[in-house]
Chains A and B, each alone.
Chain A
Amino acid sequence: MRGVLVAVMLVVGLTGCAGQAQTGSRQDHAVARARAAMDEAWAEPYASSAPGAFAAASQALEVAESLARTQPGSQAAADAIYIAERMAERARLEARCAAAREALDAARVQHAQAARSLEEAQSRLPRAIGALDIPGDGAPASATVPGESHVPGWRTGTAWPTDVKERATVADLPEED
């Protein structure tokens, strides 16, 4: 009877240890994943643009690693590891947002330059028509230039259409030959 009791206690003890070891192993894996997420975040070109998020993520990872060592398998460790991984992702996304914001600023500058170029081009075009003595008093100037019937006429002095599709119909030029 005593032997059976000892055996049962041993089995229970071993099962408990095995369960704990499995949880610990799962947490080790989770810590490794959080570390990898942090490394990935640091690899972002704009990582330095989000110092607050990176500092918080690094601190959270330290706490998670510490808890995984001191309280392996605990709920507190599991929460800390989860939070560390999410903070690393948050830092990575903050860096990516900073990069995207800068790209958007650069794109807007290019857009403004292109818009200015278009305005200049629009302002030059009526002068070119005027130089050719094309009616410029508001009358429609259809097929104004011989050999360029693919360019529909327009009223001199009127603004070039702002709508992209409308512009495309007005200035449907063939490619440069």
Chain B
Amino acid sequence: MWTYLSRLERCLTLVGLSALLGGCASLGGGALPEMGRARTALRAAEEAGASAEPAAQMYVALAQEHLERASGRLAVGDRAGAVGLARRAELDAEVALLAARETGLRDAVHRTLDDTGQISDEAAKINEVARRRAGR
């Protein structure tokens, strides 16, 4: 069919296709770097266990909601609105990640101190046995 088209028609077809592809790309989520960053931040928060951490769950939910809304805005061509929502989502996800990380660090501190206490107790018990035996 391509061979039957005149040169002008071919040019017009190519221009139309390019415009169509460009339009589709601008509607896709990948077109906005802010949305890509937000998705990356959300993935990092989820991988850090933020979804299971009560202190971080709210922020994960907010990030997901803002990302969905950003996609909706982008779909109707509201780029500025989508950028604003994507930035919100990114920061929500970053806060979620830090909240989960802080809880993890605090838990690690408590576990380490608990174990230290047990080890110290046992060392004291052994020392006591040794002292008693040496005294006999």
- Per-residue A-contact encoding for B92-136, CB less than 8 Å = 1, 0 else: 101100110110011011001101101110111111111011101
With an 8 A cutoff between CB atoms, is A148 at the interface?
yes
Contact check, A111 vs B115: say whether CB atoms are below 8 A apart. Answer: yes
Cβ contacts under 8 Å, A168 to chain B: 122
Contact of A128 among B108, B116, B129 (CB under 8 A): B129
Specify the chain B residue showing the minimal Cβ separation from A87. Answer: B91
Cα separation A87 to B94 with both chains bound (whole Å): 9
Contact check, B134 vs A86: say whether CB atoms are below 8 A apart. Answer: no
**Contacts known (A97-B98, A100-B105); A173 close to B129, Cβ less than 8 A:** yes
- Per-residue A-contact encoding for B8-29, CB less than 8 Å = 1, 0 else: 0000000000000000000000
Cα separation A122 to B112 with both chains bound (whole Å): 21
Contact of B122 among A101, A132, A167, A176 (CB under 8 A): A167
Specify the chain A residue showing the minimal Cβ separation from B126. Answer: A121
**Contacts known (A107-B116, A118-B123); A89 close to B105, Cβ less than 8 A:** no
Contact check, A171 vs B129: say whether CB atoms are below 8 A apart. Answer: yes
Which A118-151 residues have C-beta < 8 A from chain B?
A: 118, 120-122, 124-125, 127-129, 131-132, 145, 148, 151
Interface size class, chain B? 35 or more
With an 8 A cutoff between CB atoms, is A35 at the interface?
no
Interface size class, chain A? 35 or more
Specify the chain A residue showing the minimal Cβ separation from B92. Answer: A86
Contact check, B105 vs A97: say whether CB atoms are below 8 A apart. Answer: yes
Specify the chain B residue showing the minimal Cβ separation from A148. Answer: B132
Cβ contacts under 8 Å, B94 to chain A: 86, 90
**Contacts known (A128-B134, A173-B125); A93 close to B119, Cβ less than 8 A:** no
Q: What is the minimal beta-carbon distance from B54 to any residue of chain A, in angstroms?
A: 15
Chain B contact residues: over half helix, strand or loop, or mixed?
helix
Q: What is the minimal beta-carbon distance from A161 to any residue of chain B, in angstroms?
A: 9
Cα separation A79 to B78 with both chains bound (whole Å): 15
**Contacts known (A90-B91, A171-B129); A118 close to B119, Cβ less than 8 A:** yes
With an 8 A cutoff between CB atoms, is A115 at the interface?
yes
Cα separation A103 to B109 with both chains bound (whole Å): 7
Cα separation A145 to B130 with both chains bound (whole Å): 11
Contact of A90 among B81, B85, B98, B116 (CB under 8 A): B98
Q: What is the minimal beta-carbon distance from B122 to any residue of chain A, in angstroms?
A: 5
Can you add 5 more A-B contacts, CB < 8 Å, to A117-B120, A121-B122, A148-B133? A78-B84, A97-B101, A107-B113, A111-B116, A128-B133
15 A-B contact pairs sorted by A residue (CB < 8 Å): A75-B81, A79-B85, A86-B88, A86-B92, A90-B91, A100-B102, A103-B105, A104-B109, A104-B112, A121-B126, A128-B133, A145-B133, A164-B115, A171-B126, A173-B129
Residues of B within 8 A of A (CB): 80-81, 84-85, 87-88, 91-92, 94-95, 98-99, 101-102, 105-106, 108-109, 112-113, 115-116, 118-120, 122-130, 132-134, 136
